Amino acid sequence: MPGKARFGRLALGLSSLCCAAVAVAQPYHYTVTNIAAASFQPETSGQQYFFSGSGGRYVPANQQQFFWTALLLPPGAIVDYIGLNNLNDGTPLVVGAALYERYDSGFLIYRTGTSNTAHTGWQTDINATPFDLTLDNPAHSSYLLRLEFDASANPQYIGAVQVWWRTAVSAAPDTPTFNDVPETDPGFQYIEALAGSGITGGCGGGNFCPDSAVTRRQMAIFMAKALALNFTETP
């Protein structure tokens, strides 16, 4: 079971931190969220750190330090990898990363992370194997990413940090929403996902009518709701 801890010294207004992340589409099923080094805030006041000319975060030698940033991901996101950009010009960067769930009460729950290991250059997967961690994003919690710089004998420079994630259809509920789509129906999970997302309310009378034809009008409604489409009004 993941440990639970209270970090009183994190009263830095973490909920207001902006991760300055940019989601970059990748081949296959991954999306990569890039987080600028400047988005990470020191865990304690008085930590000595600087920004290099290239915009990376610089930590002096022989100092173990921790930095945090908010991480915004959609409900149901599955986090597989955390990557980073080492700006040490060939010198290994010894750093670890951890993902926490932060509750409104101030409690943090460790969800997943990596150990402090040396990396050189752009490292797209600090963790050697996928985390395969599904984030449910309950209303009372948010997520924080923590970096731990080891007390290296050399100064350490870090650029952007990447979080590799993907999405998947939610697991089906225990009780069917529609009378004519039982748990044994091959489309049960997907129909329930549409209903749970407010994309469809069925065809009336507590039914979905799974074998009925779909009109182009209905298809447009389904797609616009699912993709949250909008248009730009022109004069």
* Token pair recorded at residue 87: 């700006």
Q: Do residues 163 and 178 both lie within one domain?
A: no
Final residue belonging to a domain, choices 167, 193, 227? 167
Q: Do residues 184 and 162 both lie within one domain?
A: no
When pLDDT is averaged across residues 100-123 and rounded to a whole number, the result is 70
| Percent of residues, the chain, with pLDDT higher than 70 | 67
Q: Residue 103 pLDDT more than 90?
A: no
Q: How confident is the model at residue 83 (pLDDT cuts 50, 70, 90)?
A: confident
Helices (H), 35-103: none
Range of the domain at 206: 169-235
- Site of tokens 């389904």: 222
Q: Do residues 173 and 160 both lie within one domain?
A: no
- The domain total for the chain is 2
Final residue belonging to a domain, choices 167, 185, 215? 167
Q: Do residues 159 and 187 both lie within one domain?
A: no
The pLDDT of residue 40 is 84
Reported pTM: 0.61
Q: Per residue in 11-49, is it b (16+ CB within 10 Å) or e — as a string?
A: eeebeebebebeeeeeeeeebbbbbbbebbbbbeeeeee
Instruction: Write the CATH number for 29.
Output: 2.60.120
When pLDDT is averaged across residues 162-172 and rounded to a whole number, the result is 80
When pLDDT is averaged across residues 54-67 and rounded to a whole number, the result is 74
Q: Minimum mean pLDDT among 35-39, 140-144, 147-151: which range? A: 140-144
Q: Residue 172 pLDDT more than 60?
A: yes
Judge contact between 191 and 181, C-beta under 8 A: yes
Q: Residue 96 pLDDT more than 70?
A: yes
